[in-house]
Structure 1
Amino acid sequence: MKLVAAKVPVSTVWTSPDAPRDIDAPATAAQPDVAAWAKSMDTETRLGLHGRTLTQLLYAEPVLVRSERDGWSEILAPWQPSSADDLGYPGWVPSSHLGELPSSATSPVAVTVPSTELLAEPGSGYVAELSFATVLASVEQADGFTRVALPDGGLGWVADSALRAVESPATAEDRIRLGSLFLGLEYLWGGTSTYGLDCSGLIHAVSRVLGQRIPRDAHDQAAALEQIPVDEAKPGDLYFFGRPGKKIHHVGFVSAEGMLHASETGKRLENEPLPPERRETLVTAARL
């Protein structure tokens, strides 16, 4: 296996090279337009992603390549722990989305806003639009911008106002604040980016920004994190949901209102009281 990195802002990970449909072409293009892809899908089309998409990679995220076939790479995502493979989340991405790892640099920084521009120079020279939760290695700071190491040996600049040091201390309030940036965002199966999130993708992405690497899927998150009694859960903790004899199928942030979560049934990211039907499947809570 070889270690590479995602060199596009968002690369969607698929169950196989045959999984994408015609409507998914913007997501699998050599220069994917995930925003246009998400906008093009109605509710029924989004539901059709079940069994097709798995997760998403963000710009400069490290990737292990297991094999290659017909322009596709079978990969493992080490930053997304999974019970499916000890080395990281498995799946397939277009090989054109992968490049060489960024060169070594100093402390990692994360994008804390829904999206921000990657620039060739401080304040000019648009390169790409980076998603929330993108983590980059910083090189230097100057005039309100941070210079960052890019895949394939490049360098770029991002405004300091869009970044936080991954190693900075985080609070429960930070989780609610960051998650609330996406209120109203349409649910996207397998989404971990600003263009669409699923329930565990929201938790994973917010945690990544705050310097905590947790599993990608809800059932793995429940297994890995410190469980607490449901009645002791506080805002910023997690609620997990499951049915008898089935694995955990949903997760959300505990909030003052009830729960902040990406709701597939509600079709959007919401902050709302727990309805009775949701409480019936609340099985445990956990603390990050």
Structure 2
Amino acid sequence: MRPQKNTLTVISSWVRRQPPKVKGFLAVVAGMMTLVLLRAIVHDHDNLFKAAEAVHSVGLAVLIYKFSKEKTCAGISLKSQELTAMFLAVRLYCSFVMEYDIHTLLDLCTLAATLWVIYMIRFKLKSSYMEDKDNFATYYVAVPCAILALLIHPTTSHYLINRIFWAFAVYLEAVSVLPQLRVMQNTKIVEPFTAHYVFALGVARFLSCAHWVLQVLDSHGQLLTALGYGLWPSMVLISEIVQTFILADFCYYYVKSVFGGQLVLRLPSGVV
């Protein structure tokens, strides 16, 4: 185990010394290699979306365990949870009226768990809520997402209002984690359960992004045509990629911390 640990340490040190552009390039290469691997081992790529929902649920389970064991919600952003509940509720509505399937059930379970987390933060564990650190104005993301949804939305045969709601859920999901990142930026020290939860979000975002990218490749671009015409198909892919890269930097430091045997994650300035 020691040679492996030394190898990981050498690689990690080399990556840290690289300029931001090189780190970005390496991240893209690693992402593409992972996509190739997933395409080879996962035959039904729709399972990647189900896996993304499952990983998100695991992250919520970590929060529930944290609340139950430590009786504190310190380090958790209520605003991120509220944004998550908002896009899940909108997406659930769209699923009921547009494409009722297994994803509807998964979203319902995730929404129920998210609402429980919100209830615990607002009422049961309110005294430990770090309201002064959770200072990201949600309208900075909700309003632009709503405006963007009005301008760019699916061109399918569904009712216009439903198509706008669909687009709003996609855009809001991409940026819903920003308040949580602000809390961690303000505290700089992330305790284990919070770090596990945010890492689970990062993994879920990547699996969801992989699902869309591989579906497009497998259909030779026909999936984009099925989504409609204009800018909407491209915006779906861009949204998936954006939400993946938002958490990429944090996930790097999380993995580095785990391999280094650190229980508490300390973030350097400018990470999130």
- TM-score, structure 1 as length reference: 0.28
Higher relative contact order (CA 8 A, sep 6+): 2
Q: Whose helix fraction is larger, Structure 1's or Structure 2's? A: 2
- TM-score, structure 2 as length reference: 0.29
